[in-house]
Each structure stands twice: as structure tokens, then as C-alpha cells.
Structure 1
Amino acid sequence: MSIAVVTDSTASLTQQLRREHGIRVVPLHVVVDGTDRVEGDDGDTDWVVAALRRKADISTSRPTPATFLRAYQEAAKGGAEAIISVHLSASLSGTIDSARSAAIESPVPVHVVDSRSIGMTVGFAAIGATRDAAAGRDVEDVAERLSRRLDAGSVRLLVHSLERLRRGGRIGGAAALLGSALAVKPVLHVEDGQVEPLERVRTASRAIARLQALTEADCADLPEWADGVEIAVQHIDADERSSALAASLAESLPEHAGGRIESATLSAVVAAHVGLGTIGVAVLPRLRD
């Protein structure tokens, strides 16, 4: 059976990764001062950084069901007999609702998967699904392996401020940290699809050290079915610190990550909600073949 994989732009997949694995990406929208912009596939986030710096009015919106239906129809025309459609957490966006609506009208069966996560965790999962499909697994097996990996994954975020999350209504349990002293740097994580508080650290350098320690702890306690991990360090307007963290993780975890840590900017949509200076680490265990 030929299986296509569809995800959304918050998965942060580069053009190269999309082409290499044949993944179709449905874009979300960013509205800046009333002007709607479709999140592109060029990885350019300079425009959203500039908008955040000037404190523009920024909001985001999900793709329409019609946009998803076009992606499903194109996959079917390309020979797909089934589709895996994996997206950012339903608790953070209505994107998956649009996917489910479109799936009803799709010319081929669509398995819509709520990642209950964000960022490259979703991207890694989508890539893994394409590899499983290429190996000849049936669609139920691909979907089960995808969900198992996502359940064992993690996303942690060091944010400069909680204000953007508060404005966008995506703050979840992290609302308890509002009003904390300015010197406190909140370390958040995505838990059961929601952004939740994890720790409060006094300085940014200590918070980054905690991100590294927590990532190393993940790698030391992998599920028995895991064959190493995939790790990505993502950021928005924090290139120097994120690059240093990625290099440090690659040095400390060569046996787990194969010496390679993906380093990328957060998608414009995610950046609009977490704000400037955010650094995130996504970890997803690999499955044995």
C-alpha cells in the first residue's frame, strides 16, 4: 500500500527535509497588524522577528478544511492509497479539526493523528512515518508506531517572557508563573498537549544548563523499544545560545543522537506565541526496525 504523510508548518521541516521524505505540509497563517500572511516553506522568520520587536499586533489562524482537502487530493493523485496526517496539539490549535473535517471528503482514507506536541517533535514523527511506509508497513502499523514515539517524546521551552503565551491563550498551567520576578526564567514543557510549567530558574545560563541536563536524562531513560533518539534545538532570535546548546548536546550524547543534533528556528506561528529569545529542545525516541 502506498501511504502519504501530511503535516503542518509548525512541524518546522525545511524544504530539503520535505523533498527528501516526500512530506506534504499544510501552512498555518500569521496575521500582523491586520495583514494575513501564509507561513512559507522557506524557513524565513525575519519578518515575524521584526514584527515582534516592534510589538505589532500578531495573531495566528489555522488552515481551512479546503486547504487540507487539496493536500489529500494531491496525495491521492500522486498514487497514495492512504494518508497519515499528523499535526500540532489539538489543545493549542484548531488545525487538527480542519484536518478531520477534510478527511471526511478525502478520496482515500486519512488517519488524523493528534501529536499532543509541537515543533520538531512533530516533524521527526512525520519523517519516521514516511520511513515506516517506505519499509512496506501497513497504515495501521505506521500510525501505531507514530503514536508510540510521540507518547514518549518531549518538548521543553525556555521563554524570555510569558506575555505572548498569555495573549494567545496558550499558556495552560504556566499561568501560575505570571507575576513571577523578572529575574526568574520559566522553563516550560508540553505535557498532555498543553504548555505547562516545569521549573523556575534564576538566570538564562542556568536555564539552558537545565535544558541540557533534562535532555541528557531523557536519553539515559529511553523506552526498551527505543533505538537512540532524535533531538532538535529550536529558537527564535537566539541563534548564538541555541547553537552552543546544540553543540554541547552533540558532544555529550554521541551514542544516542549519532553525534547529530538538528538546529533550526521555530516556525513563525510558534514564534508568534512564545516570543523573542525562546529556546526549545525536542526529543523523540527512534523505533527499531
Structure 2
Amino acid sequence: MSRHVAIVTDSTAYLPPQTMERHHITAVPLTVVLGDQALEDGTEVSARALALALQKRRPVTTSRPSPETFAATYRATAQAGATGIVSLHLSSEFSGTYDAAVLAARDAPVPVRVVDTRMVAMALGFCALAAADAVDAGGTLDEAVASVEKRAAATTAHFYVDTLEYLRRGGRIGAAQALLGSALAVKPLLQLDGGRIELLEKVRTASKAIARLEEIAVERAGAGHVDIAVHHLAAPERASALAERLRSRVPNLAELHVSEVGAVIGAHTGPGLLGAVVSPR
């Protein structure tokens, strides 16, 4: 890599490996603990293994990369020729990843701008791609950071989950909200709001909730040029069907990504997750 500004993100961006290679993006992995095994998110634990563990109620926890891991990444990136680094990460409301990156950046051999995108999954991935596009166009470190912030401000993410129980277990949603959803036997729609997962609507059936998710994605896309990502966990048929409907309904769709989320996000949402990320260009 010879570009003057390098892009570093983390494994929760869920960017395809070929995309990261093409744009020279480095992803630092978070850690997933399945029982007594500590594994790298995205490389050492599969979505299927995660789904089975959750269904069997095996303990699943996640942890941030260490500051030392980030420090080593920054050193290697500088040695490869970078004179500055944009390090952009999932919301600090979900993880201490941003804090670890900030600690490491203090002693990095080149300037590092650490950005809390308040995003996750491809909402984060699209921010990384925006930074890469800015750098490819000859942009400075400040211009790359501005591209990240602009993309993050315009990007929305909505999710359907079969149950709020996994979010409750991980402390990502209040116990009262989770109990209410269970008591009413409703299917929840969630949104990423201010860096946190918030309950948006409660719908009576899964089919109605997924139809509503589709309508929200179409509304957010509007008539402008947008990228869309459809995420799932152990629900490939749902994801493919939603992606095809969005492909036919969004007039100025630029890129459409369909991917299964990794263990860090899946551990908190559970099998059956279906998500739609809309990111205007």
C-alpha cells in the first residue's frame, strides 16, 4: 500500500474481503467467546456456529480488541507507507473498541484520527468505503474524516429480530422493553439511533414486520443515489427475498450488498435477524 492516508476499521463493518483488498482497508477483529473458547470475529467463528450456540443457550460474550492490537496495526500501516490513518469504528455505545483505538493512537508513529461513527455492520462499512473513496480521489486526512462523518450522518439502519431476548441478555435494550415484547407476542422493529439500538415499532406478525422493514428502506432511499445492505443471521431466504424486492423498488440503487452478520452483532440479536442499511451517496 502506497497511499498517504490509510483506512482502518474493525470486523463489525462486515465488508467483503475482496472489497477491503480493493480499497486497501484494514479491519481489526473483535473477539467472540463461545463457552471457554476465545475466537476472532470474522475469521475463527462462523455465523452457523454462533446460531447453534445461541439456540442451545450456550454462553456467548464479546470483547474489544486490545490497545496493543491497534498499536501494532498502526505501526504496520505506517511502515507500509502511510503518513496518516483514519481509524473508524462501531458505536462506542456497543463496545470499547473506539476507546482502545484512541489509547493506541496517542503513541502511533503517524497521525491517527479515530472516529466513533455511531454505526455498526454495513452502516459502518459504507463509512469506511466513503473514506476510501475520498483518499482515492487524493483527499487529505481531514477530508477523509469529513467524508466519514457526512456518510454516517446520512445513513440509517433498521432491523427485525424474532425476539428481544438476546438484546436484553447483552444489555443492549432495556429489560422492560424486552418483557413487553414477550408479553404481547409482538415482532419488534429496531433502529440505530444516536449510536444505540432502539425499539421503533411493534408489529403483530413476522411477515408484517418484514413488510414494514421493506417500506422503511424504500422510504429512506427516496429518489437519490443510495447504497443498500441487507443483513441476516441464519435467515438467507428472507434476506435474498428482501434484497430482490428492494432491487426492483429503489430507482437509483447504486450497490446492493447481502451478507450474514458476524458473531459480535449476531450474539446480541439472535438467529432470524433481518436488517436493512440505507446509505445515500
Q: Percent identity?
A: 42
Partner secondary structure for residue 92 of structure 1: coil
Give the C-alpha shift of residue 56 in structure 1: 0.5
Partner secondary structure for residue 118 of structure 2: coil
Q: What CA distance in whole angstroms lies between the structure 1 residues aligned with 2:96 and 2:184?
A: 32
Aligned to 1:249: 246
2:259 to 261, 264, 277: 264
Aligned to 1:178: 179
Aligned to 1:285: 280
Farther-moved stretch of structure 1 (42-51 vs 269-278)? 42-51
Partner secondary structure for residue 210 of structure 1: helix
Contact 1:87 1:113 in 2 (8 A): yes
Partner secondary structure for residue 185 of structure 2: coil
Runs of 5+ unmatched residues, structure 2 = none
Q: What CA distance in whole angstroms lies between the structure 2 residues aligned with 1:176 and 1:53?
A: 21
Asked if 1:12 corresponds to 2:14, the answer is: yes
Give the C-alpha shift of residue 40 in structure 1: 3.0
Q: What CA distance in whole angstroms lies between the structure 2 residues aligned with 1:90 and 1:272?
A: 17
Aligned to 2:36: 34
Aligned to 1:166: 168
Asked if 1:233 corresponds to 2:230, the answer is: yes
Aligned amino acid, residue 133 of structure 1? V
Aligned to 1:157: 159
User: 5 Å matches for 1:1-289?
Assistant: 2-41=4-43, 44-171=46-173, 175-180=176-181, 181=183, 183-220=185-222, 228-253=225-250, 255-258=251-254, 260-286=255-281
Aligned amino acid, residue 48 of structure 1? L
Q: What CA distance in whole angstroms lies between the structure 2 residues aligned with 1:219 and 1:160?
A: 25
TM-score by length of 2: 0.95
Q: What CA distance in whole angstroms lies between the structure 2 residues aligned with 1:72 and 1:17?
A: 20
Partner secondary structure for residue 102 of structure 1: helix
Partner secondary structure for residue 91 of structure 1: coil
Give the C-alpha shift of residue 257 in structure 1: 1.1
Contact 2:233 2:261 in 1 (8 A): yes
Contact 1:15 1:42 in 2 (8 A): no
Aligned amino acid, residue 129 of structure 1? A
Residues 21 and 42 (structure 1), Cα distance of their counterparts in 2 relative to 1, 3 Å cut: farther
Q: What CA distance in whole angstroms lies between the structure 2 residues aligned with 1:41 and 1:82?
A: 27
Q: What CA distance in whole angstroms lies between the structure 1 residues aligned with 2:41 and 2:172?
A: 19
> What is the aligned residue count?
278
Farther-moved stretch of structure 1 (135-144 vs 37-46)? 37-46
Q: What CA distance in whole angstroms lies between the structure 1 residues aligned with 2:226 and 2:29?
A: 27
Runs of 5+ unmatched residues, structure 1 = 223-227
Partner secondary structure for residue 244 of structure 1: helix
Contact 1:165 1:171 in 2 (8 A): yes
Contact 2:126 2:151 in 1 (8 A): no
Q: What CA distance in whole angstroms lies between the structure 2 residues aligned with 1:115 and 1:5?
A: 14
Aligned amino acid, residue 44 of structure 1? S
TM-score by length of 1: 0.92
Residues 43 and 248 (structure 1), Cα distance of their counterparts in 2 relative to 1, 3 Å cut: farther
Query: Deviations along 1:165-224, whole A, 9 cap, x unmatched?
Result: 11111115x8535332453100000100011111111111111111111111112276xx
Contact 1:166 1:175 in 2 (8 A): no
